[in-house]
Structure 1
Amino acid sequence: MSKEKLKLLAKDLTKEYPRSPRETLGGYVLAARCIDKCRAVLNETQGEYHYACPLDQRWLKFAEINPEELKAFVATGATDDEIANWVQQHAKKRSRTEIVQWNNKERDTRLSDLPPETQEYMEDYVQKYVPRNRPVYHWFDVFDLEEERI
């Protein structure tokens, strides 16, 4: 593991936010945020964030990527471009159209579209972390509102 390279790339999630779930890496939404959390976990600067959480799992399951194999690759100090190439080699082979459709479905997911247990969790989470009087239209809005991107 290249600790020095990793340290340069890892965000300190105790002081800054991971990228928006809308931001893409390797063509997938959620992936860039997942990688930010993975690097921070490896660098022990994750704060309250968790790698391979239910949000990350949506992408990992769609791409059929093993989270531990990805983590091992990220631990080498791989750049975003190197990770994108690794993802393209290890993800389930899908057409660009399938990936774009999945990305759009994720971007459009409303809280009411989530599994019941996630809806229940988000009910309290939104009240606690999303600024008052800010409507939540889509699941990704929760993170972007909380992390002051919108």
Structure 2
Amino acid sequence: MSDSNLKSLALDLASGEFPRSPRETLGGYVVAARTLDKCRAVLAGTNGEYHFDCPLDGFFLSFTGISADDFKAFVATGADDEAVAKWINENAKSRERRDIIKWNNEMRCKHISEMPIELQEFLEDYIPECIPAGKIVYVWFDVYDIEEGRI
């Protein structure tokens, strides 16, 4: 795998493409596919306003026990989605499948009031500035999917 492979896989988030929804799974984990999309874009210099290792990515990385640096180093090899999924499963903290399912569902249903206060404060201003009037944010993932036009 190579740098050219990485560039061909990286989305151009600076020019209007969006990373995948945090609801999509990779290697069996929600958030992972989005984290990968942002990481590739950062490595390719096409991330625009998107950040890798943001608080959302941190939830995934913390749960799996994978460091942002290790994840980024592997992604930099130009690995495709299948290879990254395999790498995640080989490097994630060992957990029962039912624990991963429970975490996925907790993340899918996480209300803003259940988040650390720093994120609540950030979203208090971010939502009215970036979410169209009339759109209701029921759970945290809605913020991304509404803003990026998926719902």
- Same topology, TM > 0.5: yes
After superposition, residues 68-107 of structure 1 pair within 5 angstroms as 68-107=69-108
Query: Does the alignment pair 1:28 with 2:29?
Result: yes
Match of 2:132 in 1: 131
Match of 1:5 in 2: 5
What letter corresponds to residue 27 of structure 2 in structure 1?
A: G
Residue 140 of structure 1 and its aligned partner are, at CA, apart by 0.2
Match of 1:56 in 2: 57
State the alpha-carbon separation in 1 of the partners of residues 104 and 141 from structure 2.
12
State the TM-score, normalized to the length of structure 2.
0.98
Residue 2 of structure 1 and its aligned partner are, at CA, apart by 1.5
What letter corresponds to residue 38 of structure 1 in structure 2?
A: C
What letter corresponds to residue 117 of structure 1 in structure 2?
A: E
State the alpha-carbon separation in 2 of the partners of residues 142 and 66 from structure 1.
25
Residue 69 of structure 1 and its aligned partner are, at CA, apart by 0.8
State the alpha-carbon separation in 2 of the partners of residues 116 and 88 from structure 1.
31
Q: CA deviation digits over 1:40-62, x for unaligned, max 9?
A: 00000000011010110000000
Residue 117 of structure 1 and its aligned partner are, at CA, apart by 1.1
Q: CA deviation digits over 1:4-49, x for unaligned, max 9?
A: 0001100000120100000000000000000000000000000001
Number of equivalent positions = 150
State the alpha-carbon separation in 2 of the partners of residues 30 and 79 from structure 1.
17
Q: 4+ residue runs of structure 1 moved beyond 6 angstroms?
A: none
After superposition, residues 100-119 of structure 1 pair within 5 angstroms as 100-119=101-120
State the TM-score, normalized to the length of structure 1.
0.98
Match of 2:141 in 1: 140
Residue 146 of structure 1 and its aligned partner are, at CA, apart by 0.3
Identity of aligned residues (%): 55
What letter corresponds to residue 8 of structure 2 in structure 1?
A: L
Residue 114 of structure 1 and its aligned partner are, at CA, apart by 0.8
Tell me, which stretches of 5 or more residues in structure 2 are unaligned?
A: none
Aligned-CA RMSD value:
0.8
